[in-house]
Amino acid sequence: MDKSQNFSDPSEDEDDKNGSTSRNINLGPSGNPHAKPTDFDFLKVIGKGSFGKVLLAKRKLDGKYYAIKVLQKRVILNRREQKHIMAERNVLLKNMKHPFLVGLHYSFQTTDKLYFVLDFVNGGELFFHLQKEQTFPEPRAKFYIAEMASALGYLHSLNIVYRDLKPENILLDSEGHIVLTDFGLCKEGISQAETTSTFCGTPEYLAPEVLRKQPYDNTVDWWCLGSVLYEMLFGLPPFYSRDTHEMYDNILHKPLMMRPGASNTAWSLLQALLEKDGTHRLGSRDDFNEIKAHYFFSEINWDDLEQRKVPPPFTPNIHTDVRHQTTEFTGETVTHSVCYTEDSIVNAIVMEADDAFLGFSYAPPSDDSFL
């Protein structure tokens, strides 16, 4: 199956009241005013999205590798997506406290681009490994799904709904642990008792209530978790069809069909997570605590898991050469991604900001590498 594309409804973002789509957006003081693109050697394109690319970069100062997400401001503003980008940044700031979420080291801006300097996680996308092996044995799938559930539970504890869990957004680190990435569709401020209604996500993994355009809560993430578990065990999402309309109809109306090759406890979890009525779905009453208590995870010591003491069932063969990254990205050159145009070189310092991206720039207080 080809890589899934997500989509989002820009209705959550207000129009840019000043009509500012200029490259020379006034960007505001940064927590790291010396950070600039020329601090890095940009090596390869390792990801691509609607607003820009993710590049493997080596910091010249110390030789450390990072994944740098470079976003085009003009595209973001034209599509009224600035709130989504700022939400992504806000979520990344909170991720450093959890072992299975990608961390943000700092962010900075130039006149035309936004830069997220992130952990470089070089074990490859789960999508890459699943495509290569077609299915995973149940113990391996259980390990991954437990770490994913832990990450989602942490986000939910911060009143954040992730909304885009899929194998392409799940990386493996050098030891084989899960690292969740890409927080562009996250919604902040959604507690267990609150809902949102934006139609967004990836078609194969949309929960029925999202398709019906009904108000929904964080239980949509547990639907996605069930979809990913099903895909790891059987090779395709549970209601997949090449015809999108047929797939949507399957999600809304087709019963979950049992297939051979999974244990009874795995089927019990799948049925509980892929419950079409979100109010009866596992996790609807006590969120992550319900997931942890399911018999499928009876062998999991959650404290050990979250301290990374449980040995991963698979260790990637790690090289900095991004051999586990999707080749459609790694074949691209970085010149146009970073855009070392005359304008960018002259203005490759962090500028003062207007309201569009106010507060984007960030550097942890302890990071004095550029001071």
60 is in an annotated binding site: no
Cα separation, 354 vs 238, in Å, equals 45
CB distance 177 to 171 below 8 Å = no
The torsion region of residue 283 among left (phi > 0), alpha (psi -120 to 50) and beta comes to left
What is the maximal distance between C-alpha atoms in the chain? 63
343 assigned to active site: no
> Residue 176 is encoded by which pair of tokens?
């084989």
The secondary element (H helix, E strand) that includes residue 264 is helix 264-273
Separation in Å, CA 51 to CA 72, 82, 349 = 6, 11, 21
Q: How far is residue 30's CA from residue 168's CA, in Å, rounded to a whole number? A: 31
Contacts of 142 (CB under 8 A, 6+ apart): 266, 296, 297, 300
- CA dihedral defined by 18, 21, 25, 31, rounded to 10 degrees? 100
Output the six-digit token pair for 122. 């070089």
Please measure the distance between the N-terminal and C-terminal CA atoms of the chain and give it in whole angstroms: 47
> Vertex 83, ends 76 and 161: CA angle to 5°?
120
- Catalytic residue selected from 13, 112, 119, 164: 164
Annotated active-site positions, please? 164
Binding-site residues: 69
User: Known binding site for ATP: residues?
Assistant: 69
